[in-house]
Amino acid sequence: MSSLLEKGIEEFNRQYFFEAHDLWEELWVETVGHKRLFYQGLIQTAVGFYHLSNKNYKGACSQFEKACHKLEEYSPVCEGIATSQLLASIQQCLGEARALRSGDKVDFDNTLIPTIQQTIT
C-alpha cells in the first residue's frame, strides 16, 4: 500500500478530511491507469465529509454521489480497503445529507461517519 494512501486513511479516520483529501490528491496526480478513478472516489468521499462538517449539504450530496459512482467499480476490496463497507456507509450518509438539505432533518448523527477498514490479505 502506498504511504500516501495509508497516511490519507489515517487522516480520514481521525476525521481530518481536508488533510486526507490533500494526501490522496497527491497520489491521484501521480497515478496513471485504472486505479486513478479509485483514488478520485476516495478524494470525493473526503471532500463530501468535509462539506458535511461545514453544513454544506448540497456539496456533500454531490461529492458522495460522485464517490459512490466511482467506488462501486472497486468493490468489494481495492488496495486493501474494504470498499463495499465504505460504500454502504457513504450511501447511508448520502441519505442523511439529502434529508438535511431538504430540511427533513435538523442535525447529522456524527456516529455515522465511517472509518476506512483495511482488509487482511
- What pLDDT does 80 receive? 93
Q: Give per-residue pLDDT as tens, 50-109.
A: 999 999 999 999 999 999 999 999 999 999 999 999 999 999 999 999 999 999 989 999
Q: Domain coordinates of the chain in residue numbers?
A: 3-112
- What pLDDT does 118 receive? 83
- What pLDDT does 2 receive? 85
Q: How many CA atoms lie within 13 A of 43 on its CB side?
A: 15
Q: What is the pTM of this model?
A: 0.95
Query: Contacts from 80-89 at CB under 8 Å and sequence distance 24+?
Result: 80/1, 80/118, 80/119, 80/121, 81/9, 81/116, 81/117, 81/118, 81/119, 82/116, 82/117, 82/118, 82/119, 85/114, 85/117, 86/45, 86/114, 86/116, 86/117, 89/113, 89/114
Q: Give per-residue pLDDT as tens, 4-42.
A: 999 999 999 999 999 999 999 999 999 999 999 999 999
The CATH code of domain 3-112 reads 1.10.3450.10
- What pLDDT does 1 receive? 58
- What pLDDT does 95 receive? 97
- What pLDDT does 119 receive? 77
